[in-house]
Structure 1
Amino acid sequence: MCIQIVEKLLVVLRDGRTLIGYLRSIDQFANLVLHRTIERIHVGKKYGDIPRGIFVVRGENVVLLGEIVSV
């Protein structure tokens, strides 16, 4: 049985980067695979998005992980 995960997540990494993408996979070590990922860069009160595509994140680098809910 295959369970498809399509939650949109915001992930803050240990090095300060912020990623936003769709969760494709997660394992027991909190390693993540995100697709359609963007890296959000903040400068003052403004921000810019850099498209990154498929992104693999090692679980030990995750500081914050949260679901983005569209209203």
Structure 2
Amino acid sequence: MLSLGDVDPSLTNFPGSASLINDLGKRMLVKLRGHKCYIGYLRSIDQFGTILLSETCERIFVGEKYSDVRQGLIVIKGENIALIGEMVSSLQY
């Protein structure tokens, strides 16, 4: 698995899940198949798109409201990820 220290910053464009190398260390939102949603810091990825998240919370939605349940360190297989993106703390328009 790759970690933040293994990445050459001059390499910026990668195809597929390899593009997540640019997001190592960032706070990410991960939506899974099956309606689960996790928010945590992306710490590692592998060639199959499997990711490691730290300081993770599972976000549970009920109608328009939500609650965060702490999960800690989790591994998510790439085949279960439906959507992944950087979590922005405040939107500026």
Does the pair score TM above 0.5? yes
Percent sequence identity is: 48
Pairs within 5 Å for 1:35-54: 35-54=54-73
Tell me, which stretches of 5 or more residues in structure 2 are unaligned?
8-23
The structure 2 residue matched to 1:11, chosen from 15, 27, 30, is 30
Tell me, which stretches of 5 or more residues in structure 1 are unaligned?
none
Q: CA deviation at 1:18?
A: 0.3
Q: Choose between structure 1 and 2: higher strand proportion.
A: 1
TM-score computed with the length of structure 1 as normaliser: 0.90
**Alignment RMSD:** 1.7
Moved over 4 A (4+): none
Q: Choose between structure 1 and 2: higher helix proportion.
A: 2
Deviation string, structure 1 residues 10-31 (Cα, Å, up to 9, x no partner): 0001111000000000111110
**Which one has the largest radius of gyration?**
2
Matched residues, number = 71
Tell me which of the two structures has the higher relative contact order, counting C-alpha pairs closer than 8 angstroms and 6 or more residues apart: 1
TM-score computed with the length of structure 2 as normaliser: 0.70
- Give the counterpart letter for 1:13 in structure 2: L
